Chains A and B, each alone.
Chain A
Amino acid sequence: MTDSPSRSLENRSQRSLLDASIVRPALAASLRKLDPRVQLRNPVMFVVEVGAATTTAGWLMQAFGAQPLGGGDESATFTFVVALWLWLTVVFANLAEALAEGRGKAQAATLRAMRSETMATLQDGSQVAAAQLQRGDVVVVEAGAAIPGDGTVIAGIASVDESAITGESAPVIREAGGDRSAVTGGTRVLSDRIVVEITQEPGQSFIERMIALVEGAARRKTPNEVALGILLSGLTIVFLVVVVTLRPFAEFAGTGASIATLIALLVALIPTTIGALLSAIGIAGMDRLVRRNVLALSGRAVEASGDVDVLLLDKTGTITLGNREATEFIPMPGVQEGDLAAAAQMSSLADETPEGRSIVVLAKRYGIREHSFTGHQPQFVAFTAQTRMSGVDMDGTRLRKGAGDAILGWVDGEGGQAPPELSATLDRVAREGGTPLAVARDSHVLGVIYLKDVVKEGMSERFERLRAMGIRTVMVTGDNRLTAAKIAEEAGVDDFLAEATPEDKLALIREQQSQGRLVAMTGDGTNDAPALAQADVGVAMNTGTQAAREAGNMVDLDSNPTKLIEIVEVGKQLLITRGALTTFSIANDVAKYFAILPAIFAATYAASGSDTGPLDKLNVMGLGTPESAIISALVFNALLIPMLVPLALRGVRYRPVGATALLRRNLLIYGLGGLIAPFIAIKLVDLVVHNLIGF
């Protein structure tokens, strides 16, 4: 398990947006995607493509001497330029999608390279291609071989190099039974030999699913994306009707409007910006998760993570370091603190558990260096479940440390008597949420070691951040209420569930859900599987069991339980990016109206002797000519797509402030900004189109 931020895929794909290896194939793909059958999946862009084709036909007819299609007196050059920019609009939209897919593909290529194409050895020694393995097959993997598919270790123990999927170079232990039994296809056994039962269907391995996801192939539209798609289609239909009915309206006013002009208006009005970037945003969101080493099994889960109301976190390993740490030596009356520290240290020298090591570390602070055993004959006594003590016999003295009652029994057996203060001290430590260990030298109790559950650094800040997002955190622990309350307070969680059994956890999730809350949790053990399945967002640790991995709807390859915070942020970012670009796209329409309508109706109802009518006064941007105004709006509309691609891929920055503050901020930037910015931008484009190019 690693708590450090993930590096693996991030390193693998630290390519800039404009990396030639991504851009070049993306350019080719953006032309291939002009296929109308592809466009039909995106109604907004399909309308643009039909418009582009129609305008092109109109230009060809004009080039052969016909009048502009549908009336008007625009030049063939104008029609050509409109057609060109309409095509470019479609191409830019395709490019955005292709770039997003390309970044995913680059990741997928790395993944694919390490996909094992090797043979698998079945239990009877026969060889079979890894791709042929069925669920339930049992294979033997020796040191040096790649694991042929996802599965559960049913016999043996081995160190496994999982760097291929996690990026973490240190090997991990995988063994039969317990919570570390899951193995992933494509990872490599470094030592020993394990027997693995395959748990995947052919072609459905972890890595294959990962490849499909980052490439966007397996991407199904998420519920919010579907809803937004409906809104965008609705707006497209409305503006289609607006433009179609504008023709008779214009004719009633004695004004002709060519099809090219009307199509330019239509494309400017329909929400092309968000329509073009919608799928890129979705792909990029998935991509961002994979970069954080999280594998979401569906986009729906990613979106749901943005809605999480309650977060269930295991205490051990998530909120606390998992290992208790010695923080204090409490000597019995008449015992020197240094004496106790020395005895504690000696008895722990052979204790390789983290607790044992923490005692040695604490003893150093009392100025006690490691003893030299030269000339002595130390006899280390290892901890056993029966004695519940460990220690050392040396030069006739016997040091023991262990649970309070175990040491009491030891002292009794040695014919000594424990000081009356001992039980009071043991009780006090337990009450404060710590674990007491007693230390004895022969028949004398020297004192108590205070082992404390240490809350990870920075936890309270993280919970503060979650609270600002509107998410309540609940700590789940098997500890008693007192201990749990103490740690909950120290860590800054909102609530805790003490003395929790897996059933309690499941019941808590159900209860929260029945109150309408969305629950997220992390888990790794087999007994977590029902709760993971019940939770709306269940993040399984990659170190966990296969059962847990199957039950969750996300797998964290880093097995970092606080990763949920980042997942929630990615989920929120995804929604915010869609909403912000939709708002921006719709707000832009005002400026586009101000560019195009005065251009179409510049001469309408002109007084006799005047070239311009009353509506020319609405040309507030002072655009050069009607033709340059229409082209400028169209160019702005098209260029906006590639300009916003970085934002779509990166996502709008999420700040954990209250919803109202966030709304106000995004409304100002994308709403008000979307109203004002295009006025300036269209004017700038017009300066080029009119003054430099001469339209």
Chain B
Amino acid sequence: MTVQGWLQIALYVAILTALTPVVGAYMFRVYSGERVLLTRVLGPLERIVYRLLGNDPEHRQDWKGYARTALVFSALSFIALYAILRSQPIHPFNPQDFASAPWDVSFNTAASFVSNTNWQYYGGETTMTYFSQMAGLALQNFISAAVGIAVLIAVIRGFVARSGGELGNFWADLTRTLLYILLPISVVGGLLLISQGTLQTLAPYVTFATLTGGEQTLALGPVGSQEAIKQLGTNGGGFFNVNAAMPFENPNGLTNFINMLLILAIPAGLTATFGRMAANRRLGWALYGAMTLMFVVGVGIVYAAETNGSPAQQLAGLAGSNLEGKEVRFGDAGSALWVVVTTVASCGAVNSAHDALTGIGGAVPMANMMTGEVIFGGVGSGLYGMLLFVLLAVFLAGLMVGRTPEFLGKKIEAREIKLVVMATLAVPLLALAATALALATKYGAPSIYNPGPQGFSETLYAYVSQANNNGSAFAGYSGFVQPDAGNAGSSGITFADVLGGLAMLGGRFVPMVLALAVAGSLAGKRVTPAGPGTMRTDTPTFVVLLIATILIVALLTFVPSLLLGPVVQGLSTQLF
């Protein structure tokens, strides 16, 4: 570990903390319908969109209406994306003449991008046409992120509602998210990245002779235009197979830093938006504090573990850092920070090979995902997941202060607890069950390349990542057999593709609907004014309790699997 490394981490946290209230306040204004700087330019556009949709933005939906619209919209997105992926031969912008990937891989990919996961069983440069990348995948990067944020805003409205059971208008929330938040920041961010050398071209791949006389193809593409939204929307699906470790995507230390800020900017800012909507900014900061505390500890562990190397490496006489799978451009600190940033947020973009992390270093990204992606988490989904944990913590703590538990003055009763328990436990169960099926059945075997704890970790990581909509991978676990670029002669491993696809859809939409149901249930509740007997949720004590609840309720579920994968490797002197 170096001072410079720690400084980079400290600088990152400082800038993120400074950005949070700014981004949060801006989003608060957007969703309360106040005029912002861009209203003059985008306001007419917004109204045109409503007219095209036949939507009255003032019409407020109850939770069921909101959930139904979000689900139908996502289903249509899924169908459209699947159709695009399966029609590659007729695409424009297909200079390499790529065929379509098999149906099961396309199913997995469509599920992946609609659920804001961006798990990739394919390599972008060997499978996707430029058209698929731009009109299919990048479009979903915007849309799925906007759906997540819209749902969160609706959920918050239910939590803070003073009267009535309505949560808002889905189309209005979606449109405002796209127009006022995702588009402008992506444009600026994309231009910034392109100015630093991120590639942006529609030209065909370049083939040239290497010094040794061989022939090499250099994949190109419209990378810069989707790089910013990939991070900003916590999507993470790389244009290229090696994602942000590729110099065309992430050319230097500055772009590395900007990318990391783009990943957490919105999830962090939303805590401040929540604080403003709840008329208690301290509460927003409390949630930010809980997330940041867990985040910083995670970074510290990964950074320490990676600079230390594994016991097996040390026994083999390899002193110093574990640089396997890392870009020297980014080093230990830049890689460790990214590993944690991309896994606390459900982004999944990578700038190093997670597969090559030390045992303990690899346990942290897994644990981040296993919390249910609530440490910042995906845009929107992270905070509504966190709010469900807040309810759980409030319930336990509320009992301990001798009152029927209440949050924001609303009583947490059997109905809410039932929904919260279902929402917070559904995803861990999905991940565990899928991993068990993959490990124990003969259908799972073809996907697993390694034996022992490494093979176990790779499988576990695959399903934890998919069920939690992260999308980063431990490699070594496959759903796609592709002999050559362009998909000719390729086949999918149906079991892994379908199981993973279902895990992603379940992991996305089950908690989403349940969170909306909780909000709907809270929306109609009477607000009890706070008094000295009310348990406050904006205190350090509650932050500690919240962290403990997340760690114990979510992580206890995964202790045995963490032991059998990364912990074995962290403690063992053998190489697996």
Q: Is B403 in contact with A613, judged by CB distance below 8 angstroms? A: no
A605-B528 in contact (CB<8A): no
B165 within 8 A of A: no
List B residues 406-461 near A (Cβ within 8 Å).
Answer: 409, 412-414, 416-418, 421-422, 425, 428-429, 432-433, 435-436, 439-440, 452-453, 455-456
- Does A27 touch B at the CB level, under 8 Å? no
Docked complex Cα distance between A470 and B398 (Å): 14
Q: Which of A123-131, A401-409, A527-535, A662-670 contacts B (4 or more CB under 8 A)?
A: A662-670
Q: Complex Cα distance A470/B395, Å?
A: 19
Q: Are A252 and B439 in contact (CB under 8 A)?
A: yes
Considering only CB atoms, which chain A residue lies closest to B526 in the complex? A516
A241 to B541 CA separation, bound complex (whole angstroms) = 32
Q: Cβ of A237: which chain B residues have Cβ within 8 Å of it?
A: 425, 429
Whether B572 pairs with A666 at a CB distance below 8 angstroms is no
Q: Which residues of B contact A249 (CB under 8 A)?
A: 435-436, 439, 456, 560-561, 564
Nearest-Cβ distance from residue B81 to partner chain A, whole angstroms: 31
0/1 string, A611-630, CB within 8 A of B gives 1: 00111011000000000000
B409: chain A residues within 8 A (beta carbon): 516
The stretch from B67-75, B112-120, B551-559 touching chain A is: B551-559
- A227–B532 touching, CB < 8 Å: no
Instruction: Tell me which residues from 588 to 618 in chain A have a Cβ below 8 Å from any Cβ of chain B.
Output: 589-590, 593, 597, 601, 604-605, 607, 613-615, 617-618
Q: State whether A659 touches B401 (Cβ < 8 A).
A: yes
Residues of B within 8 A of A304 (CB): 404
B572 touches A224 (CB 8 A): no
Residues of A within 8 A of B539 (CB): 660
A614 to B413, CA, bound (A): 45
Contacting pair A614 B531 (CB below 8 A): no
The answer to the question of B397 belonging to the interface, with a C-beta cut-off of 8 Å to chain A, is yes
A380 vs B567: C-alpha distance in the bound complex, in angstroms?
Answer: 97
- With A and B bound together, what is the CA distance between A618 and B401 in angstroms? 35
Give CA–CA (A589, B404) in the complex, Å: 25
> With A249-B564, A467-B532, A572-B403 known to touch, is A593 a contact of B559 (CB < 8 Å)?
yes
On whether the beta carbons of A667 and B556 are closer than 8 Å, the reply is no
The answer to whether B403 and A306 touch across the interface, beta carbons within 8 angstroms, is yes
The reply to whether B425 and A470 form a contact with Cβ atoms under 8 Å apart is no
Contacts of A587 in B (CB 8 A): 552
Expressed in whole angstroms, the Cα–Cα distance for A575 and B399 within the complex equals 5
A587 to B400, CA, bound (A): 14
**Is A253 interfacial (CB-CB < 8 Å)?**
yes
The yes or no answer to B246 lying at the interface (CB within 8 A) is no
Contact of B568 among A571, A580, A604, A671 (CB under 8 A): A604
Residues in B whose Cβ lies below 8 Å from that of A307: 403-404
* CB pair B535 A659 closer than 8 Å: yes
Min distance, Cβ A580 to any Cβ of chain B, angstroms: 6
Q: Which of A228-236, A423-431, A540-548 contacts B (4 or more CB under 8 A)?
A: A228-236
User: Could you tell me the distance between the alpha carbons of A231 and B435 in the complex, rounded to whole angstroms?
Assistant: 25
Minimum CB–CB distance from B543 to chain A (whole Å) comes to 12
Residue of B nearest to A580 (CB): B400
Q: Are B402 and A654 in contact (CB under 8 A)?
A: yes
Chain A residues with CB under 8 Å of B413's CB are: 223-224, 227
- How far is B417's CA from A666's CA once the two chains are assembled, in angstroms? 22
**A245–B432 contact, CB under 8 A?**
yes
CB neighbours of A230 from chain B (8 A) = 414, 417-418, 421
Q: Nearest-CB distance from B239 to chain A (Å)? A: 34
What B residues does A516 contact at CB under 8 A?
A: 409, 526-529
- The residue on B at minimum CB distance from A466 is B533
A230 to B412, CA, bound (A): 13
What CA separation (Å) do A242 and B429 show in the bound complex? 8
In the bound complex, residues from chain B placing their C-beta under 8 Å from that of A471 are: 533
Are B568 and A597 in contact (CB-based, < 8 A)? Answer: no
Given contacts A227-B412, A245-B435, A667-B545, contact A589 B556 (CB under 8 A): yes
On chain A, the residues within 8 Å of B328 by CB distance are none
**A258 contacts B by Cβ under 8 Å:** no
Considering the complex, give the chain B residue whose CB is closest to the CB of A571.
Answer: B402
Q: Tell whether A617 pairs with B571 under 8 Å between CB atoms, given A227-B414, A662-B402, A663-B545.
A: yes
Query: Quick check: B399 and A517 within 8 Å, CB to CB?
Result: no
Q: Which of B425, B429, B440, B536 contacts A659 (CB 8 A)?
A: B536
Contact assessment for A597 and B563 in the assembled complex, using a CB-CB cutoff below 8 Å? yes
Q: Mark A235-252, 1 if CB is under 8 A from B, else 0.
A: 101110110111011111
User: Given A245-B436, A309-B528, are A615 and B563 also a contact pair (CB < 8 Å)?
Assistant: yes
Least Cβ–Cβ distance between A257 and chain B, in angstroms = 10
Select A579's contact among B398, B433, B526, B568, beta carbons within 8 Å. B398
Cβ–Cβ contact A579 & B400, under 8 A: yes
Q: Is A515 an interface residue (CB 8 A)?
A: yes
Contacts of A637 in B (CB 8 A): none
Beta-carbon contact of B568 and A605 below 8 Å: yes
- The residue in A253, A309, A597 that gathers the most chain B C-beta atoms within 10 A of its C-beta is A253
State how many angstroms separate the Cβ of B123 from the closest Cβ of chain A: 27
- Give the distance to chain A from B517, nearest Cβ to Cβ, in Å: 14
**A422 at the B interface (CB under 8 A):** no
Interchain nearest-CB distance for A267 vs B (Å): 15
* Shortest beta-carbon distance from B467 to chain A in Å: 13
Whether B429 lies near A241 (C-beta < 8 A) is: yes
Contacting pair B414 A223 (CB below 8 A) = yes
Q: Is the Cβ of B552 less than 8 Å from the Cβ of A586?
A: yes
Indicate if A210 sits at the interface (CB-CB under 8 A). Answer: no
- Once bound together, how far apart are the Cα atoms of A237 and B557, in whole Å? 11
Within 8 Å by CB of A309, from B416, B533, B572, lies: B533
Give A515 to B530 CA distance when docked, in angstroms. 11
Q: How far is the CB of B399 from chain A (nearest CB, A)?
A: 3
Which of A239, A248, A253, A597 contacts B453 (CB under 8 A)? A253
User: Which chain B residue shows the least CB distance to A226?
Assistant: B414
B254 on the A face (CB < 8 A): no
* Cα–Cα distance between A587 and B551 once the two chains are bound (Å): 11
Considering residues B401, B526, B572, which has the most beta carbons from chain A within 10 angstroms of its beta carbon? Answer: B401
A676 at the interface (CB under 8 A from B): no
Q: B528 to nearest A CB, angstroms?
A: 4
Task: Please name all residues of chain A whose beta carbon is closer than 8 Å to the beta carbon of B572 when the two chains form the complex.
Answer: 605, 607, 613-614
Q: Does chain B have a CB within 8 A of A303?
A: yes
Known A-B contacts A242-B432, A468-B532, A576-B399; A605 and B452 likewise in contact (beta carbons under 8 Å) = yes
Q: Assess the B541–A601 pair: CB atoms within 8 A.
A: no
**A694 interface hit (Cβ, 8 Å):** no
Q: Indicate if B280 sits at the interface (CB-CB under 8 A).
A: no
Residues of A within 8 A of B453 (CB): 253, 605
Q: Is A483 an interface residue (CB 8 A)?
A: no
Write out, one digit per residue, whether chain B residues 42-85 have a CB within 8 A of any chain A CB (1) or not (0): 00000000000000000000000000000000000000000000
Task: Report Cα–Cα, A227/B568, bound state, in Å.
Answer: 38
Please measure, in the bound complex, the distance between the C-alpha atom of A303 and the C-alpha atom of B402, giving whole angstroms.
9
Do B397 and A667 touch across chains, with their CB atoms under 8 A apart? yes
Q: 6 A-B Cβ contacts within 8 A?
A: A223-B413, A238-B429, A249-B439, A252-B440, A253-B568, A659-B535
- State the 10 A-B residue pairs at the shortest beta-carbon distance, nearest first: A470-B533, A579-B399, A572-B402, A248-B440, A234-B421, A614-B571, A579-B400, A245-B436, A614-B572, A227-B414
Using CB atoms and an 8 Å cutoff, list the residues of chain B in contact with chain A. 392, 395-404, 409, 412-414, 416-418, 421-422, 425, 428-429, 432-433, 435-436, 439-440, 452-453, 455-456, 526-529, 531-536, 539, 541-542, 544-545, 548, 552-553, 556-557, 559-561, 563-564, 567-568, 571-574, 576
Q: A234-B421, A246-B561 are in contact. List 4 more A-B contacts (CB 8 A).
A: A467-B532, A516-B528, A660-B536, A667-B545
Binding site for B on A (CB under 8 A): 223-224, 226-228, 230-231, 234-235, 237-239, 241-242, 244-246, 248-253, 269, 303-304, 306-307, 309, 467-472, 515-518, 571-573, 575-576, 578-580, 582-583, 586-587, 589-590, 593, 597, 601, 604-605, 607, 613-615, 617-618, 654, 658-660, 662-664, 666-667, 670-671
